Structure 1
Amino acid sequence: MDDRLADLRFTVLGPVRGRCGADELDLGPPQQRALLAALLLREGRAASAPELVDALWGDDPPARAVGALRTYVSRLRRLLEPGRGSGDAARVLVTVGGGYALRLPDGALDAADFERDLAAAEAARAAGDPAGARELLRTALGRWRGEPLAGVPGPFAETQRARLAERRLTALDRRFALDLELGDHAEIVAELSALVAEHPLRERPRGLLMLALSRSGRQAEALAVYDDARRVLAEELGIEPGPELSGIHARVLVSPGGPGAPAPTAARPAQLPGDVADFTGRAEQVGALCAALRARPRRALPICAVAGAGGVGKTALALHVAHRVRGDHPDGQLYVDLHGAGGDPAEPRTVLGSFLQALGVARDAVPDGLAERAALYRTRLAGRRVLVLLDNARDAEQVRPLLPGDPGCAVLVTSRAKLGGLDAARFIDLDAMEPAESLALLTRIVGDARTGAEPGAAAELLEVCGHLPLAVRIVAARLAARPSWTVASLLRRLDDEDRRLAELRVADLAVEAVFRLAYRQLDDRQRRAFRLLALADGPSVSREAAAALLGTDAFDAEELCESLVDVSLLRSPTAGRYRYHDLVRLYARGRAAADEPAAERAAALRRLLHFCLATARDAHLTLNPGDGRALNTLPPRGRGLGFADQRAARDWLFTEADTLFAAIAQAARDADRSLLPPAADLLLMTDALVDSGLYRHECEQAAYAVIDAAWERRDLRSEGRAHLQLGWVYFYADRIADAAAVCRTALRRGRETGDVWTVGDALGRLGACALMAGRPAEAVRHKEAALAAFRKIGDRYGEANIWAGLGRPLLGAGRAAEAVAAAERGLSLHRALGSGSRIGYALYQSAVVLEGVGRPAEAVARCGEALRVFRGGRNRQWEGLTMVRAAAALLALGSPAEAARVAADAVAVTGEVGYAWGHAQALRVLGRALHDLGDADAARERWTEALRIFQRLNAPETGEVRTLLHGHDGPEGPVTRSASTA
Structure 2
Amino acid sequence: MDRDDGPRVRVPEQRAPEEPGAADSLRFTVLGPVRAWRGAEALPSGSPQQRALLAALLLREGRTATAGELIDAFWGEDPPSQAKATIRTYASRLRKILGQDTLVSEAGGYALRIGRGALDLTLAQDLAVEAEKARASGDRCQARTLINKVLGLWDGEALASVPGPYAENQRTRLEEWRLQLTETRLDLDLEVGSHAEAVSELTALTAAHPLRERLRELLMVALYRSGRQAEALAVYADTRRLLAEELGVDPRPELAQLQQRILRADEELARPADEPAPAAAPVKPAQLPATVPDFTGRDSFVRDLGAQLTTAEGSVMAVSALAGIGGVGKTTLAVHVAHQARPHFPDGQLYVDLQGAGARAAEPETVLGSFLRALGTADSAIPDTLDERAALYRSTLDGRRVLILLDNAHDAAQIRPLLPGTPGCAALVTSRVRMVDLAGAHLVDLDVMSPDEALQLFTRIVGAERVGAEREAALDVVAACGFLPLAIRIAASRLAARRTWTVSVLAAKLADERRRLDELQAGDLAVKATFELGYGQLEPAQARAFRLLGLADGPDISLAAAAALLNLEPHTAEDLLEALVDTSLLESAAPGRYRYHDLVRLYARACAERDEQPPVERELALSRLLDFYLATAAGVYALERPGERVLDHFTRTEYPGLTFPVRETALDWLFAESSGLLACARQSAAIGMPKRASDLLMAVVDLGESGANSHQFATAAKAVSDAARAAGEAQAEARARTMLSHVHSVSGRFAEADAEASRALALGQRAEDPVSLGQAPNQRGIIALYENRHEDAEAHLTQAMAAFRADGNKPGEAAALCNLSRVHLATGRTTSAVHLAQQGVAIYEGDATDLALRLANGKYALGLALIGSEQMPRARDALLEALQIFRESRQQLWHGMTLFRLAELHLAEQDGAQAAAHAEQALAVLRGIGGDWRRANVLAVLGRGLTAIGQRDRAQVCWSEALAIFEELRSPEAASVRALLNPAGVS
Q: Could you tell me which residue of structure 2 aligns to residue 639 of structure 1?
A: 656
> Do residues 715 (structure 1) and 693 (structure 2) align?
no
Which amino acid in 1 is paired with 2:787? A
Secondary structure in structure 2 of the residue aligned to 1:572: strand
Instruction: Give CA deviations for 1:826-861 in whole Å, capped at 9, x if unaligned.
Output: 111112221611111111111111112222232222
Q: Could you tell me which residue of structure 1 aligns to residue 620 of structure 2?
A: 603
Give the superposition deviation at 1:442. 7.2
Query: CA, structure 1 residues 910+150, in 2 after alignment: closer, same or farther (shift >3 Å)?
Result: closer
Give the superposition deviation at 1:817. 1.3
CA distance in 1 between partners of 2:908 and 2:628 (Å): 50
Is the deviation greater in 745-754 or in 543-552? 745-754
Give the superposition deviation at 1:915. 3.0
Which amino acid in 1 is paired with 2:301? A
Q: Which of 214, 225, 228 lines up with 1:79 in the alignment?
A: 225
Secondary structure in structure 2 of the residue aligned to 1:641: coil
> Do residues 909 (structure 1) and 933 (structure 2) align?
no
Q: Could you tell me which residue of structure 2 aligns to residue 618 of structure 1?
A: 635
> Do residues 734 (structure 1) and 748 (structure 2) align?
yes
**Alignment check: 8 A CA contact 2:305 2:337 kept:** no
Q: Could you tell me which residue of structure 2 aligns to residue 526 of structure 1?
A: 542
Which amino acid in 2 is paired with 1:807? S
Query: CA, structure 1 residues 323+874, in 2 after alignment: closer, same or farther (shift >3 Å)?
Result: closer
Give the superposition deviation at 1:870. 0.6
Query: CA, structure 1 residues 844+474, in 2 after alignment: closer, same or farther (shift >3 Å)?
Result: farther
Q: Could you tell me which residue of structure 2 aligns to residue 30 of structure 1?
A: 188
> Do residues 858 (structure 1) and 882 (structure 2) align?
no
Which amino acid in 1 is paired with 2:932? A
Give the superposition deviation at 1:148. 9.1
Q: Could you tell me which residue of structure 1 aligns to residue 946 of structure 2?
A: 930
Query: CA, structure 1 residues 654+810, in 2 after alignment: closer, same or farther (shift >3 Å)?
Result: same
Give the superposition deviation at 1:958. 1.3
Matches within 5 A, 1:533-932: 533-597=549-613, 598-670=615-687, 672=688, 675-834=689-848, 836-913=852-929, 915-932=931-948
CA distance in 2 between partners of 1:566 and 1:582 (Å): 18
CA distance in 2 between partners of 1:73 and 1:550 (Å): 58
Is the deviation greater in 604-613 or in 915-924? 915-924
Give the superposition deviation at 1:965. 0.9
CA distance in 1 between partners of 2:341 and 2:706 (Å): 51
Give the superposition deviation at 1:813. 2.5
Instruction: Give CA deviations for 1:866-915 in whole Å, capped at 9, x if unaligned.
Output: 11001101111100100000011011112211121111110111124353
**Alignment check: 8 A CA contact 1:282 1:433 kept:** no
Query: CA, structure 1 residues 749+517, in 2 after alignment: closer, same or farther (shift >3 Å)?
Result: same
TM-score normalized with structure 2 length: 0.53
Secondary structure in structure 1 of the residue aligned to 2:604: helix
Uncovered stretches (5+) of structure 2, i.e. residues with no partner: 1-134, 141-183, 198-217, 233-266, 286-294, 312-325, 344-404, 410-414, 420-424, 447-480, 486-517
Uncovered stretches (5+) of structure 1, i.e. residues with no partner: 1-11, 18-25, 40-48, 50-71, 87-107, 110-146, 161-270, 288-307, 326-429, 462-470, 476-501, 970-982
Query: CA, structure 1 residues 318+950, in 2 after alignment: closer, same or farther (shift >3 Å)?
Result: closer
Which amino acid in 2 is paired with 1:650? L
CA distance in 1 between partners of 2:643 and 2:816 (Å): 15
Which amino acid in 2 is paired with 1:802? A
**Alignment check: 8 A CA contact 1:623 1:649 kept:** no
CA distance in 1 between partners of 2:334 and 2:590 (Å): 27
Matches within 5 A, 1:207-356: 275-277=299-301, 311=329, 313-314=331-332
Instruction: Give CA deviations for 1:648-691 in whole Å, capped at 9, x if unaligned.
Output: 22222212221111111111111x4xx22111211211222223
Matches within 5 A, 1:139-218: 156=282
CA distance in 2 between partners of 1:668 and 1:443 (Å): 31
CA distance in 2 between partners of 1:630 and 1:902 (Å): 36
Query: CA, structure 1 residues 28+586, in 2 after alignment: closer, same or farther (shift >3 Å)?
Result: farther
Give the superposition deviation at 1:739. 1.5
Which amino acid in 2 is paired with 1:793? D
**Alignment check: 8 A CA contact 1:707 1:722 kept:** yes
Q: Could you tell me which residue of structure 1 aligns to residue 10 of structure 2?
A: none
Query: CA, structure 1 residues 698+440, in 2 after alignment: closer, same or farther (shift >3 Å)?
Result: closer
Secondary structure in structure 1 of the residue aligned to 2:856: helix
Give the superposition deviation at 1:964. 0.8
Which amino acid in 1 is paired with 2:937? Q
**Alignment check: 8 A CA contact 1:693 1:915 kept:** no
Query: CA, structure 1 residues 865+73, in 2 after alignment: closer, same or farther (shift >3 Å)?
Result: farther
CA distance in 2 between partners of 1:790 and 1:274 (Å): 68
Give the superposition deviation at 1:814. 2.7
CA distance in 2 between partners of 1:546 and 1:533 (Å): 7
CA distance in 1 between partners of 2:278 and 2:840 (Å): 51
CA distance in 2 between partners of 1:560 and 1:908 (Å): 46
Query: CA, structure 1 residues 576+273, in 2 after alignment: closer, same or farther (shift >3 Å)?
Result: closer
Give the superposition deviation at 1:514. 4.9
Which amino acid in 1 is paired with 2:881? E
CA distance in 2 between partners of 1:151 and 1:620 (Å): 37
**Alignment check: 8 A CA contact 1:897 1:929 kept:** yes
> Do residues 512 (structure 1) and 536 (structure 2) align?
no
**Alignment check: 8 A CA contact 1:886 1:902 kept:** yes
**Alignment check: 8 A CA contact 2:563 2:570 kept:** yes
Query: CA, structure 1 residues 79+321, in 2 after alignment: closer, same or farther (shift >3 Å)?
Result: closer
Query: CA, structure 1 residues 806+519, in 2 after alignment: closer, same or farther (shift >3 Å)?
Result: same
Give the superposition deviation at 1:156. 4.7
Alignment size in residue pairs: 585
CA distance in 1 between partners of 2:342 and 2:892 (Å): 49
Secondary structure in structure 2 of the residue aligned to 1:749: helix
CA distance in 1 between partners of 2:933 and 2:231 (Å): 15
Give the superposition deviation at 1:154. 6.0
Secondary structure in structure 2 of the residue aligned to 1:636: coil
Instruction: Give CA deviations for 1:930-975 in whole Å, capped at 9, x if unaligned.
Output: 0000010110111111112222222221111111111259xxxxxx
Q: Could you tell me which residue of structure 2 aligns to residue 233 of structure 1?
A: none
Instruction: Give CA deviations for 1:557-596 in whole Å, capped at 9, x if unaligned.
Output: 2232233334443333332122222222122222222222
Query: CA, structure 1 residues 762+923, in 2 after alignment: closer, same or farther (shift >3 Å)?
Result: same
CA distance in 2 between partners of 1:311 and 1:874 (Å): 42
CA distance in 1 between partners of 2:407 and 2:667 (Å): 32
CA distance in 2 between partners of 1:806 and 1:683 (Å): 26
RMSD of aligned Cα (Å): 4.8
Secondary structure in structure 1 of the residue aligned to 2:983: coil
Is the deviation greater in 868-877 or in 643-652? 643-652
TM-score normalized with structure 1 length: 0.53
**Alignment check: 8 A CA contact 2:916 2:946 kept:** yes
**Alignment check: 8 A CA contact 1:311 1:514 kept:** no
Give the superposition deviation at 1:543. 1.0
